[in-house]
Structure 1
């Protein structure tokens, strides 16, 4: 079973931030205004909390949730993302996130191969939850498309980065 001790400090920080990366990639694909971004961020957090009691998410996802329950874990995840994405345009940030997810997949495949499939599926589900959280287009919440073409393409990119597709 994969636990935090299986990974080096930098590896764990990258893995710790991976649920936020999966969601953020979708948000960056087609930002949907302040309310939409809020709803998408909330969906990412809810997906993270949902892993706590979901045996299908696997031990690695549950270890992330356990670390995120403390302010230190949340701070490490935020700092890792901030350091990687600072000063980048949304398009460049999205590409950096996809590259980081590819690194996460490689680390998990190498150091926790038994946990890797469930973990990568869970990360893809986090991205899907974010995509479904807010409709794109429309006006004041009316009309629009639930999941835009750009978000659909990004879901495919996330799956490819995780080698889950």
Structure 2
């Protein structure tokens, strides 16, 4: 049985939102320019590409290969962020990720720990993808204070550990 089959029709789209929300929480914590946003998006995609076979993260990554999967994830994310400013988006994304992990713990408890770590890894990769506060690629810091705080908040919400 595919892990997807364990989830209800209402819960599966929420699970699909999770990687986008993990990256979005970081991006909204310290919004940079266009190049930084592209680098951070690429980091999110790389995290999906590297998901271990046979895991919930891999099934989510597989779903992203279909227009239906991407649309389901995007629709939920768009609804969550509509009308919100970046700090509110970060808070809403973290709260939603905590809710999603609760669904995973109930529905596929054997996957919860690995999925939590996958989401924290996705957020960490996103935070490390672009320097913040520099000029033309010089100076700045790899992970801003706002991103570090958001990573810590995510780790608390998801019960995981990851270092930056």
TM-score range, shorter-chain basis?
over 0.9
- SS of 1:88's equivalent in the other structure is coil
Query: What is residue 153 of structure 2 aligned with on the other side?
Result: 157
Gaps of 5+ in 1: none
- Aligned counterpart, 2:144: 148
The answer to whether the 8 A contact 1:2-1:112 is kept is no
User: For the aligned residues, what is the CA RMSD?
Assistant: 1.3
Residue number in structure 2 paired with 1:69 = 65
User: Offset at 1:162?
Assistant: 1.2
Q: Which whole-Å deviations, capped at 9, do the CAs of 1:42-67 have from their partners, x for residues lacking one?
A: 1111111111xx24xx5111110111
Provide Cα deviations, 1:131-157, integer angstroms capped at 9, x if missing partner. Answer: 110001110111100011111110011
Pairwise CA distance, 1:71: 0.7
Q: 2:105 aligns with which of 109, 118, 128?
A: 109
Moved over 6 A (4+): none
Shift of 1:2: 6.4
Which SS does the other structure have where 2:110 is aligned?
coil
Unaligned residue ranges in structure 2 (runs of 5+): none
- In structure 2, C-alpha distance between the alignment counterparts of 1:59 and 1:2, rounded to whole Å: 10
> Structure 2 CA distance, aligned partners of 1:60 and 1:141?
36
Highest RCO, 1 vs 2 (Cα 8 Å, sep ≥ 6): 1
User: Residues 54-93 of structure 1 correspond to what in structure 2 (within 5 A)?
Assistant: 54-55=52-53, 59-93=55-89
Aligned twin of 1:41: 41
* CA distance, structure 2, for counterparts of residue 11 and residue 160 of structure 1: 22
Shift of the alpha carbon at 1:159? 1.2
Distance in structure 2 (CA, Å) of the matches to 1:123 and 1:37? 18
Aligned residue pairs, count: 161
* CA distance in structure 1 between the partners assigned to 2:71 and 2:142 by the alignment: 31
Return the TM-score normalized by structure 1.
0.93
Deviations 1:41-95 (A, max 9, x none): 11111111111xx24xx51111101111111100110011011111111111111
